Amino acid sequence: MTDLNKEAISVLNDLIETSKDGQEGFKTCAEDIKHPELKTFFAKRSADCATAASELQARVRELGGDPETGTSVAGDLHRRWVDLKSLVTGKSDEAILNEAERGEDHALKAYKEAIESINKHGLVNIRDLVERQYHGVQRNHDQVKALRNQARAQS
């Protein structure tokens, strides 16, 4: 396996963890949020993150690597923090949307770092996939932020 393949696999495995974090985070939001339309929104975003993780895992296998299968430690800690915070503050829709936006901030950062690494190392074999998924993460972030702002305005 070439060094470029190893680097590409490393980048993709980091994004698999990020996608799995998003899948679990959105699933938790869907379970906790009261508004039915937001439940549907978060369930769909969770499924989208699962699809993204599957695409990344398939690409890792194509490159000869072993794909990640779980979430990150940071994502697990974030969900525990959200659970604890929810016990103290209550699970208002606005609070859930705030935490969802924080999770998407993390995902955006991870994808931006991945694109920087792709450009630095010339990993053209994964650029299109990662950039396409980055745009999906950006869309998720913007939608969550707009929903959060709407919830703030109503409270």
Query: How does pLDDT run across 64-93, given as a tens digit for each residue?
Result: 999 988 765 565 555 555 655 555 556 788
Domain ranges of the chain: 3-154
pTM of the model: 0.88
- Span 103-131, mean pLDDT? 95
Question: Which range among 53-62, 90-99, 143-152 has the greatest average pLDDT?
Answer: 53-62
Residue 21 · residue 107 · CB < 8 Å: yes
d(CA 40, CA 76): 23
pLDDT value of residue 19: 94
Burial readout 100-114 (b: 16 or more C-beta within 10 A, e: otherwise): bbebbebbbebbeeb
Domain 3-154, what fold? Ferritin (1.20.1260)
